[in-house]
Structure 1
Amino acid sequence: MKRKLTSVLVAACLTVVMTGCGSLGASGSATTENEATESKATENEGNETEASGEGASIVLKYAELNPAEHPMAQGGTKFAELVNEKSNGRIKVELYFNATLGDEKSSMQGVQIGTIDMFRANTNNMGDYNCKIMNALALPYVFTDLEHLHTTLKGEIGQELLDAVQTSGTQMVALGYLEEGPRNMFFTEKAVTTLADLKGLKVRVPETELMIKTMEALGANPTPISYAELYTSLQTGVVDGAENAVTGYVTNSFNEVAPYYVKDAHTFGPGLIVISEKVWDTMSAEDQAILQEAAGEAQDYVYEITEELEEEYYKLLEEKGTEVLEVEDIEKWRDAVKEVYSLYGQEIEDLVTRIQAK
């Protein structure tokens, strides 16, 4: 894979990481801004991107769970800039980071009913919203590396799954993907390198069936907790560990309270830019095309910056004394989760076969 990222961008990202994270979120309708949202916007630095052109005829609130320097959030920022550019300022995307207007579950529900316009969702929970086929992307060990993921999502399979979000009755429309590196586990008190080490440990997972089943198969005790509560839950011992890509681990400062980072790469779980179907149906075909084109370009942007950012974050962890560990006998981990595949039916298994043939 070829990657290029200016040292200025990397340095800027790391500066923000080392000096602390903002506190942001999302809300609202496609045209108005309520007082509660205005209050949050003034409290949180970096809430609006360069896409804040005056005189926009359409204003879309876009929710993101992570801080602004996270690659997924940078993808949202790039998406907003591209939409503004391609629409000549007619469409304004306002970004709200750090789950200001709610956790993942409430944000998804908000998009469904139209109280939140857009959200950067996770593919690993789309199955819980009636799009079961999307589970294929978040199954454990289905992708070999980031390039394999990117190639799949930019091709026929990726488009089929985007289409399935709307046709399966989620009340959402998927515009495109945002990718990051593999998700790994991290722990507060214990270096975990074997399945025996992992057995019985309370591991925070998103509130999704797929992630719960995956952790159960690996022998952990999956504990669904809101992402916004994770840092405190690690700090106070509510859970023994959690899982995230290194970019999320660093930008959310989880290394401060969970200094054992285990490179098990159990899943990739790409992000998904979704828009409320109620909002989508009010837009012209031209404006819909602008959003889809911008999402595709934002996906490419995040893919380009992710690998170098990961390298920089691993260097930062080394400097901070975080233990970065490799698992022993990864094939045992792969074998342990095979039962998860069979839980989702023949359609999923057939799709996995197509993915792994690439």
Structure 2
Amino acid sequence: ATNLAELKNLKVRVQGAPIWSRTFQAIGMSPTVIAYNEVYNAIQNNVINAGENEAAGVEAMKFYEVGPNLLMTRHAITIRPLCFSVKTLKKLPQDLQDAIIRAGKEAGTYGRQIESSEDQAKLDKYAKEGKLKQVAFNDRAQMQKLVEPVMAAYAKEVGAEAIYNKINTLK
């Protein structure tokens, strides 16, 4: 598959969160909730045709053995937030609060760079070894257009319209 038309009705494993099913339905796929540790067997036994993962997951779970074609949709960015209470932060002196916020921003940027570069290196390694094939996806803009109303509705549903709008101003 290289475009949305070829993804029509494709059975894809999704996480249990309803937003995942809604987004994949919006682009015409057939989402199926399956536990992560069951994906390998589900692909192998044709329960699903596809899963979606970053390279580290593909490597760790050896999904390339049963699903050697990797469609490069780039449909999600994994975010790994650092979380702690405002109450705890406010107990600290201002210089430490500033240092923690600054370090968090730096760590976020660094972590994103590392994860992205390591992902591509892993994919390239498995492609070179003949274990998987990276397939270009040509309909990313159309995919985003189809998913946009789903994301906006979900932001409203969970009371996150302000942050959703702020994120979209960064595009």
Give the structure-2-normalised TM-score: 0.75
- Name the structure 1 match of 2:148: 338
- 1:299 is displaced (CA, Å) by 4.7
Residues 219, 271 of structure 1: CA spacing in aligned structure 2 closer, same or farther, 3 A cutoff?
same
1:223 aligns with 2:32: yes
8 Å CA contact 1:217–1:337 kept in 2: the answer is yes
> What is the SS of the residue equivalent to 1:337?
helix
- 1:311 is displaced (CA, Å) by 2.9
- 1:266 is displaced (CA, Å) by 1.3
Deviations 1:164-202 (A, max 9, x none): xxxxxxxxxxxxxxxxxxxxxxxxxxxx11111111111
> What is the SS of the residue equivalent to 1:237?
coil
- 1:268 is displaced (CA, Å) by 1.3
- Name the structure 1 match of 2:139: 329
Deviations 1:77-97 (A, max 9, x none): xxxxxxxxxxxxxxxxxxxxx
Note the 1:194-343 alignment, pairs <5 A: 194-272=3-81, 296=104, 299=108, 302-321=111-130, 322-343=132-153
- Report the residue type matching 2:28 in the other structure: G
CA distance, structure 2, for counterparts of residue 201 and residue 324 of structure 1: 18
CA distance, structure 1, for counterparts of residue 127 and residue 51 of structure 2: 20
- Report the residue type matching 2:169 in the other structure: A
- 1:318 is displaced (CA, Å) by 1.6
8 Å CA contact 1:341–1:349 kept in 2: the answer is no
* Long gaps (5+) in structure 1: 1-191, 278-284
Residues 301, 327 of structure 1: CA spacing in aligned structure 2 closer, same or farther, 3 A cutoff?
closer
CA distance, structure 1, for counterparts of residue 111 and residue 141 of structure 2: 30
Residues 354, 273 of structure 1: CA spacing in aligned structure 2 closer, same or farther, 3 A cutoff?
closer
* Long gaps (5+) in structure 2: 86-90
Residues 229, 324 of structure 1: CA spacing in aligned structure 2 closer, same or farther, 3 A cutoff?
same
- 1:309 is displaced (CA, Å) by 1.1
> What is the SS of the residue equivalent to 1:268?
coil
Give the structure-1-normalised TM-score: 0.38
Aligned length: 153
CA distance, structure 2, for counterparts of residue 335 and residue 315 of structure 1: 29
Deviations 1:23-71 (A, max 9, x none): xxxxxxxxxxxxxxxxxxxxxxxxxxxxxxxxxxxxxxxxxxxxxxxxx
Residues 299, 329 of structure 1: CA spacing in aligned structure 2 closer, same or farther, 3 A cutoff?
closer
- Name the structure 2 match of 1:354: 166
- 1:273 is displaced (CA, Å) by 6.3
- Over aligned residues, Cα RMSD in angstroms? 2.7
8 Å CA contact 2:55–2:120 kept in 1: the answer is no
- Name the structure 1 match of 2:88: none
- 1:227 is displaced (CA, Å) by 0.7
8 Å CA contact 2:22–2:150 kept in 1: the answer is yes
> What is the SS of the residue equivalent to 1:340?
helix
Deviations 1:94-151 (A, max 9, x none): xxxxxxxxxxxxxxxxxxxxxxxxxxxxxxxxxxxxxxxxxxxxxxxxxxxxxxxxxx
- 1:264 is displaced (CA, Å) by 0.9
What percentage of residue pairs aligned between the two structures are identical?
27
CA distance, structure 1, for counterparts of residue 78 and residue 111 of structure 2: 14
> What is the SS of the residue equivalent to 2:52?
strand
Q: Which moved more, 1:297-306 or 1:240-249?
A: 297-306
8 Å CA contact 1:200–1:220 kept in 2: the answer is yes
> What is the SS of the residue equivalent to 2:135?
strand
- Structure richer in helix, relative to its length: 2
Residues 332, 307 of structure 1: CA spacing in aligned structure 2 closer, same or farther, 3 A cutoff?
closer
- 1:255 is displaced (CA, Å) by 1.0
Q: Which has the higher contact order (CA 8 A, sep 6+)?
A: 2
- 1:267 is displaced (CA, Å) by 1.6
CA distance, structure 2, for counterparts of residue 342 and residue 230 of structure 1: 29
- Report the residue type matching 1:331 in the other structure: A
Note the 1:163-182 alignment, pairs <5 A: none
Deviations 1:273-305 (A, max 9, x none): 679x9xxxxxxx79xx9xxx6x94865653342
